[in-house]
């Protein structure tokens, strides 16, 4: 009887030790996975910067009209410590969708779902790149002015959009001359909707590079001139040099 109880205690001790070892192993594996996932995200951000993409601004929960001046609606939008700036305001958002969150209110389920997708915006020289991962990634639509918003699945191929998407992920490339892109001041703005909530993808216009002149131009001219002045200078710069007179 005593031997049987001792064996049972030993068996229980072995099971307990095995459980502790497995728990530690899975905890280390989970930490390692999170670390690798973080490194992958940082690597993607570094790659975006290397490829000429810069961080853009996402304005979430406001309704703008063209010409209203986006600067007056965004507070310090480019100096946020997070990957993008999210601005929310009571105005039109409260009329368009329920569950608006003010600074003194608890976040609604839609606000929480939006943030869980970790949306990001990168701005290139000729296009923007928008990414969202999580439930709800398939529920984006493009604003069309007075017409109803168009789901991304129905955007014509002639609009130039390039998308990789499923029910839980979206990666979208949109050229600045694509359909429904708005130019507001010095920025490109793509008005969209997510579950009926207005949002805007906002990229600053890239600076025009200076035009390099041929090396044969007079040394007194600068190596480069602003592109806006080039049409006025070219007729004078391209005149043939006066040939020397040859005595007969």
Q: Judge whether residue 57 has pLDDT over 80.
A: yes
Helices (H), the chain: 2-50, 91-96, 109-116, 230-237
How many Cβ atoms are within 10 Å of 217's Cβ, its own excluded? Answer: 13
Report pLDDT for 44.
54
Residue 76 or residue 84, greater confidence? 84
Whether 142 contacts 180, CB under 8 Å: yes
Rounded mean pLDDT, 223-234 = 61
Report pLDDT for 49.
46
Q: In whole angstroms, give the CA distance from residue 240 to residue 81.
A: 56
Query: DSSP 3-state assignment of 6?
Result: helix
Q: In whole angstroms, give the CA distance from residue 164 to residue 173.
A: 9
Whether 185 contacts 69, CB under 8 Å: yes
Rounded mean pLDDT, 41-70 = 66
Measured between alpha carbons, how far apart are the two ends of the chain, in Å?
A: 136
Distance of CA 158 to the CA centre of its chain: 22
What residues have CB less than 8 Å from 76, skipping those under 6 apart? 85
The one-character DSSP state at 242 is P
Rounded mean pLDDT, 89-109 = 41
Three-state secondary structure string covering 49-108: HHCCCEECEEEECCCCCCCCCHHHCCCCHHHCCCCCCCCCCCHHHHHHCCCCCCCCCCCC
Band of residue 6 on the pLDDT scale cut at 50, 70, 90: low
Rounded mean pLDDT, 155-175 = 94
Q: Considering the chain, what percentage of its residues have pLDDT values greater than 70? A: 44
Residue 14 or residue 130, greater confidence? 130
Read off the pTM: 0.54
Band of residue 102 on the pLDDT scale cut at 50, 70, 90: very low
Residue 130 or residue 209, greater confidence? 130
Q: Judge whether residue 183 has pLDDT over 50.
A: yes
Give the residue extent of every domain in the chain.
Answer: 1-51, 52-204
Q: Judge whether residue 79 has pLDDT over 60.
A: no
């Amino acid at each position: 009887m005593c031997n049987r109880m001792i064996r049972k205690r030993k068996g229980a001790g072995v099971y307990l030790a095995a459980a502790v070892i497995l728990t530690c192993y899975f905890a280390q594996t989970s930490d390692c996975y999170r670390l690798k996932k973080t490194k992958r995200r940082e690597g993607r951000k570094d790659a975006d910067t290397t490829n000429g993409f810069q961080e853009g601004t996402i304005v979430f929960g406001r309704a703008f009209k063209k010409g209203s001046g986006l600067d007056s609606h965004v507070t310090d939008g480019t100096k946020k410590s997070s990957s993008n700036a999210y601005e929310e305001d009571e105005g039109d958002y409260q009329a368009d969708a329920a569950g608006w969150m003010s600074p003194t209110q608890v976040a609604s389920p839609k606000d929480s779902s939006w943030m869980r997708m970790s949306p990001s915006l990168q701005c290139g020289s000729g296009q923007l790149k928008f990414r969202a991962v999580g439930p709800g990634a398939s529920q984006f639509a493009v604003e069309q002015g007075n017409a109803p918003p168009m789901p991304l699945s129905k955007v014509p191929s002639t609009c130039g959009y390039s998308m990789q998407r499923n029910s839980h992920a979206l990666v979208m490339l949109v050229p600045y001359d694509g359909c429904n892109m708005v130019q507001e001041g010095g920025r490109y703005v793509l008005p969209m909707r997510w579950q009926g909530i207005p949002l805007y993808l906002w990229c600053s216009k890239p600076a025009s590079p200076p035009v390099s002149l041929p090396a044969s131009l007079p040394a007194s001219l600068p190596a480069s001139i602003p592109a806006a002045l080039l049409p006025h200078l070219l007729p004078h710069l391209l005149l043939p040099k006066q040939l020397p007179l040859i005595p007969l």
